Amino acid sequence: MLDDERLELILDAAYVCFTRHGVRRTTMDDIARETGMSRPGVYQYVRNKEDAFRRLAERLLGDALSTARSAIGTRGDLCARLTAALDAKLGLAVRLWRDSPAHAAELLGVDTRLSAEQVEAYNAAMRDLLAAAVAADHPDTDSVEVAELLLAFTRGLEADLSDAEAPARRLRRGVALLVAGLDRPNNHSHTSLKESS
């Protein structure tokens, strides 16, 4: 087995252990047992469980970003492409809740503590990806601001994943509303005091 394949096996095992026991309760022995390797063998690839978590987070975020890039690169209207890209982000949180209802909050919280650099890089890449797509269709719009709004909206949906179907439905509707607002011509006419009172 190649080194890369062994590392992937270890990260797969780490995911199983973290979702089963939570990060705090998972030990390197758990990860070694899940991989079928010795603990010293696992240590040849990851320094400790925190390193395993960071590498796992990097892989999960990388996969989500790759899916988002593919979605933005497809043909189709802006709304569909933005929704598909953001669904990749939302899907990661939904997956954690589905795979580990008892530990998802811990995993998502640890994610920001143990892998802050990866999360920051992922968020910046998502912002840039979304902004470029918006700018291509709406060059006169503050595309970075729109991208930030879309990401903030998606993070809000990630806060309540108790209904498995609701987040994706709300994401579609929210993105559609925002894009519809972009598609409307700006009305720069001033309302009179009478109209505004």
pLDDT in tens, 71-84: 999 999 999 999 99
What top-level class would CATH report for the domain 3-183? mainly alpha
> What is the full DSSP assignment across 88-143?
HHHHHHHHHHHH-TTTHHHHHHHHHHH-HHHHHHHHHHHHHHHHHHHHHH-TTS-H
**Residue 189 DSSP code:** P
Going by C-alpha positions, the residue among 26, 19, 30 that lies closest to residue 99 is: 19
pLDDT band at 192 (very low <50, low <70, confident <90, very high): very low
DSSP state of 73: H
Q: What totals of helices (H) and strands (E) does the chain contain, helices first?
A: 10, 0
CA distance 42 to 33: 10
Q: Render pLDDT for 9-18 as a digit per residue (tens, 0 to 9).
A: 999 999 999 9
List the domain boundaries for the chain: 3-183
Contact 158, 90 (CB under 8 A): yes
Contact 99, 11 (CB under 8 A): no
Q: Is the predicted pLDDT of residue 109 greater than 90, yes or no? A: no
pLDDT at 92 over 90: yes
